[in-house]
Chains A and B, each alone.
Chain A
């Protein structure tokens, strides 16, 4: 029972990108430092985690749209 448009778009990518880089800049994060802390194993694990979560979100959004 929603009055929102059927194909609800999320936040524009550029906004999220700006948000993340601004938070990093504000807190003085050295990205190269952070990158070097990640081992290949951790990278693979995180990659799998993100893929799993995005497929879950996709299927949730799809089931939402189907029901409407």
Chain B
């Protein structure tokens, strides 16, 4: 039989127990002589069966947007080259503004409740994304060139957030 150690009082418990026999804590620390995954699976199954178990999750985990823009432009043996690189900072601040507005509308209309936070979290979770934009431009032996680079992925994201905001206020009869 596999065993586990309580994270609070270090009491060794049998795998079949889902709370510590000494201090009743449900935290477990070490797994002896056991397939870790197996014990963890059976522990979590047992915990789920406890009626008063609560699942708490920080509502602050909203919108994890990981964005990377790598831009490399080589210009070699050339003249009269114009480079226009679109400023993505403006887009990022727009996005933050939109997210703030959505959170604000929800917090006013639903009150500062767990429900409001859960909804806000869910709305932003739809936009959890990682974007990587890699652009490499190499110019050699050229004259009179114009280079324009734009990060369009983000603008689509902004449009989507705006649509959510507009739908939200329409639902609340603000317009």
Contact = CB atoms under 8 A, between A and B. Distances in A.
B115 interface: yes
**Interface of B (DSSP majority class):** helix
Contacts of B104: 46, 49
Interface residues of B, number: 45
A62 to B, nearest CB: 10
Nearest to A63: B86
A35 B167 CA distance: 14
Given A24-B119, A46-B174, A64 B94 contact: no
Nearest to A6: B152
How big is chain A's contact interface, by range?
35 or more
User: A1, A16, A21, A43: which has the most chain B beta carbons within 10 Å?
Assistant: A1
A47 B175 contact: yes
Nearest to A1: B149
Contacts of A38: 108-109, 172, 174
Interface in A2-22: 2, 4, 8, 10-11, 13, 16-17, 19-21
Interface string A16-56: 11011101101111010011011000110011011001101
Contacts of B169: 46-47, 50
Nearest to B147: A1
Contact of B165 (A34, A43, A53): A53
A19 B166 CA distance: 13
User: A26, A31, A34: which has the most chain B beta carbons within 10 Å?
Assistant: A34
B110 A8 contact: no
Interface in B116-175: 118-119, 122-123, 126, 135, 137, 147-150, 152, 155-156, 158-160, 162-169, 171-175
10 contacts: A1-B135, A1-B147, A2-B150, A17-B167, A19-B167, A20-B123, A37-B108, A43-B174, A46-B105, A53-B101
List the 8 shortest-distance A-B pairs measured between CB atoms, nearest first.
A10-B159, A34-B109, A16-B163, A2-B152, A1-B149, A20-B167, A57-B162, A11-B160
Interface of A: 1-2, 4, 8, 10-11, 13, 16-17, 19-21, 23-24, 26-29, 31, 34-35, 37-38, 42-43, 46-47, 49-50, 53-54, 56-57, 60-61, 64, 67-68
